[in-house]
């Protein structure tokens, strides 16, 4: 390999390095952000050249020097490419294309201050950048238009995939300086790798451009430029819509639809935060601090931190609370007094049960309400069953005779419906705690409570037949921090046993 086309490479990720941008003996990779000595990068380049040479020895007939490709007979070059190089190229390209498709099914951006460890990958960027270097080396053997297209497709796929793999690493690394800025650069480089990517995956360039804008938006937010961050995220929305429309019409890109949907949630959440800045431009520093504090809590629960739809819902709840505090938009509030407003999910529980004996036996339907403590998990385990108002322990309307004759009207007796009927839409005059969960979490906790009630209470287990929890929004209850949780006088004995650590939650008060 007398005149290798391989450039200086990052020893950590395999991306090309700009030696001219080195500071003394150190150069920083513009893709993964890792600083390294030029000496070490050159050693890695020598290793790459050896690996490529070994690959070429297996793919190219002995004695052929492809660095002199222009002087080799075109017919001979074509024959070597078709018979020796193309089979190996096709095998690796097919594998990487399949693996990249799997990656594209997942969200590749996240909110400021968060990491996402839920994204899975099948390859490391180093191996994919190495493959791209191999493709470069055999490009001189491509003579026909079809062969040249194979080279362009393989190279474009490898570059795009490798940059995205680097971003997966950045998604997981909160300590990497300027990680969102690096992600934005990688998305842009991936989108612009070549036109082959647009043909392979219609809508992908637009998606990557949108992701670049969202990454830049997150970077702007963390630096305190909240309004600008919101406007940058808003620019991404049209690109996501274009990408979604194209992916919907393409078999190869349809796999991207869920990932696109989730990434759009992140963009919408950043737009929501930008709108908060516009509503109160002098409060940006506090807004950023509060979002960072919420992120520290959410990050402890990967199923929250890795789910953009949940993050979007949390952001909407936070913005709604801020609007209520500045007397702009009211929120639903239960009657009662306290020093802090705590969020509860309202769950409409329609269930059926059996009552009566022998000829009097029959089924009845009941509409009951549950309140689910929205932040019960904070500072402890995700103990779903104890985060719910225990309406089945508060039951039971009717005695033994009613149970035998079928006159029971319910096997629960919560009285939550009566309390909810007294709720009002109001502004908040004391701090409110934002809900750090979403509707799916509320459904999960309500279901866990039902299952626990069935297991622990023989009468419920015997009578309960069908139940279907449905989340009906958020309501705030005024309460008081008391030791390991919050007390709510309006709920009395129905107060959930677990509401979350008040030392953490009161610090999140808006």
**Cβ contacts of 405 within 8 Å, gap of 6 or more:** 356, 360
d(CA 268, CA 469): 28
Question: Per-residue pLDDT for 372 more than 60?
Answer: yes
Q: Are residues 240 and 164 in the same domain?
A: yes
Average pLDDT, the chain: 88
Q: Are residues 370 and 254 in the same domain?
A: no
Least confident of 251-265, 296-310, 311-325, 463-477: 463-477
Q: How confident is the model at residue 138 (pLDDT cuts 50, 70, 90)?
A: confident
- Tokens 């690959």, residue located: 55
The domain boundary residue, chosen from 239, 264, 280: 280
Indicate if the pLDDT at residue 73 is higher than 80. no
Please give the pLDDT value at position 141: 84
**pLDDT higher at 311 or 2:** 311
Q: Which of 220, 245, 280 is the last residue of a domain?
A: 280
- Within a domain: 293: no
Q: Verify that 222 and 370 share a domain, yes or no.
A: no
How is residue 168 written in tokens? 């997966």
pLDDT at 290 over 90: yes
For residue 232, tell me if it sits in a domain: yes
User: Is residue 316 exposed (0-12), middle (13-18) or buried (19+ Cβ within 10 Å)?
Assistant: middle
Instruction: Report which of 239, 248, 243, 308 is spatially closest to residue 272, judged by C-alpha positions.
Output: 308
One domain for residues 238 and 343: no
Which pLDDT does position 362 carry in this prediction?
Answer: 52
Q: Are strands 424-426 and 464-482 parallel, antiparallel or unpaired?
A: unpaired
- pLDDT tens for each residue of 446-483: 888 888 888 887 777 777 766 778 999 999 999 999 88
Both 213 and 80 in a single domain? yes
The reply to whether 467 falls in a domain is yes
The per-residue pLDDT for 69 is: 55
Report if residue 158 sits inside a domain: yes
Task: Name the least confident of 38-52, 69-83, 422-436, 486-500.
Answer: 69-83
- Considering the domain architecture, whether residues 346 and 476 belong to the same structural domain is answered as yes
Instruction: Identify the residue whose tokens are 């509707």.
Output: 439
For residue 358, the model assigns a pLDDT of: 43
The answer to whether residues 389 and 275 belong to one domain is no
Q: How far apart are CA 39 and CA 9, in angstroms?
A: 11
User: Do residue 259 and residue 374 come from a single domain?
Assistant: no
- pLDDT value at residue 319: 96
pLDDT of residue 465: 66
Bigger pLDDT: 401 vs 345: 345
Q: Domain check: are 152 and 251 in the same one?
A: yes
Domains of the chain: total:
2
- Reading the block at residue 409, the tokens are 């009207």
Residues 346 and 267 in one domain: no
Judge if 87 and 148 occupy the same domain: yes
Q: Which residues contact 472 (CB under 8 A, 6 or more apart)?
A: 346, 347, 348, 369
Q: Are the C-beta atoms of 129 and 14 separated by less than 8 Å? A: yes
Shared domain check, 486 and 351: yes
280, 314, 340 - which closes a domain: 280
Domain assignment present for residue 213? The answer is yes
Region 60-86: what's the mean pLDDT? 72
User: Could you tell me if residue 1 is inside a domain?
Assistant: no
In a domain, 315, yes or no: no
Residue 8 lies in a domain: no
- Checking if the pLDDT of 140 tops 70, the result is yes
Range of the domain at 348: 330-508
Phi then psi for residue 289, to 5 deg, are -65, -40
Assign 404 a pLDDT band (cuts: 50, 70, 90).
very low
């Amino acid at each position: 390999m007398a005149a290798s086309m391989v450039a200086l490479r990052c020893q950590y990720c395999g991306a090309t390095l700009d030696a001219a941008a080195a500071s003394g003996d150190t150069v920083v990779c513009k893709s993964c952000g890792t600083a390294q000595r030029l000496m070490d990068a050159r050693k890695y380049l020598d290793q790459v050249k050896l690996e490529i040479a070994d690959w070429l020895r297996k793919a190219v007939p002995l004695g052929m020097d492809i660095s002199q490709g222009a002087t080799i007979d075109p017919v001979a070059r074509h024959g070597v490419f078709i018979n020796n190089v193309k089979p190996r190229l096709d095998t690796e390209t097919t594998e990487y294309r399949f693996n990249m498709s799997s990656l594209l099914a997942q969200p590749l951006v996240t909110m400021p201050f968060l990491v996402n460890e839920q994204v899975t990958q099948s390859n490391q960027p180093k191996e994919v950048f190495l493959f791209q270097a191999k493709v470069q080396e055999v490009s001189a053997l491509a003579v026909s238009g079809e062969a040249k297209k194979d080279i362009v497709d393989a190279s474009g796929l490898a570059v795009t995939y490798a940059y995205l793999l680097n971003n997966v690493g950045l998604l997981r690394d909160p300590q990497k300086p300027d990680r969102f800025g690096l992600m934005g650069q990688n998305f842009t480089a991936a989108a612009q790798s070549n036109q082959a990517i647009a043909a392979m995956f219609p809508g992908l360039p637009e998606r990557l451009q949108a992701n670049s804008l969202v990454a830049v938006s997150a970077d702007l937010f963390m630096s305190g430029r909240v309004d600008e961050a919101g406007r940058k995220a808003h620019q991404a929305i049209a690109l996501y819509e274009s990408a979604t429309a194209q992916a919907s019409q393409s078999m190869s890109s349809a796999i991207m639809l869920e990932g696109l949907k989730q990434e759009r949630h992140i963009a919408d959440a950043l737009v929501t935060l930008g709108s908060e800045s516009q509503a109160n431009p002098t409060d940006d520093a506090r807004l950023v601090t509060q979002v960072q504090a919420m992120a520290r809590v959410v990050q402890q629960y990967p199923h929250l931190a890795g789910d953009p739809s949940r993050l979007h819902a949390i952001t909407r709840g936070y913005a709604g609370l801020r609007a209520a505090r500045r007397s702009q938009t009211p929120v639903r509030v239960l009657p009662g007094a306290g020093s802090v407003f705590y969020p509860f999910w309202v769950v409409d529980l329609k269930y059926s049960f059996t009552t009566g004996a022998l000829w009097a036996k029959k089924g009845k339907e009941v509409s009951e309400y549950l309140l689910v403590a929205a932040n019960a998990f904070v500072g402890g385990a995700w103990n779903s069953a104890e985060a719910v108002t225990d309406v089945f322990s508060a039951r039971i309307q009717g005695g033994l005779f009613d149970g035998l004759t079928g006159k029971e009207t319910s096997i629960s007796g919560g009285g939550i419906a009566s309390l909810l009927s007294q709720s009002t839409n109001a502004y908040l005059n004391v701090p409110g705690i934002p809900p750090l969960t979403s509707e799916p979490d509320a459904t999960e906790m309500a279901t866990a409570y039902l299952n626990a009630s069935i297991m622990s209470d023989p009468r419920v287990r015997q009578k309960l037949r069908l139940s279907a929890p449905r989340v009906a929004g958020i309501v705030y209850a005024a309460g008081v921090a008391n030791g390991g949780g919050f007390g709510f006088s309006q709920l009395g004995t129905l107060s959930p046993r677990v509401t979350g650590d008040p030392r953490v939650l009161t610090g999140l008060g808006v």
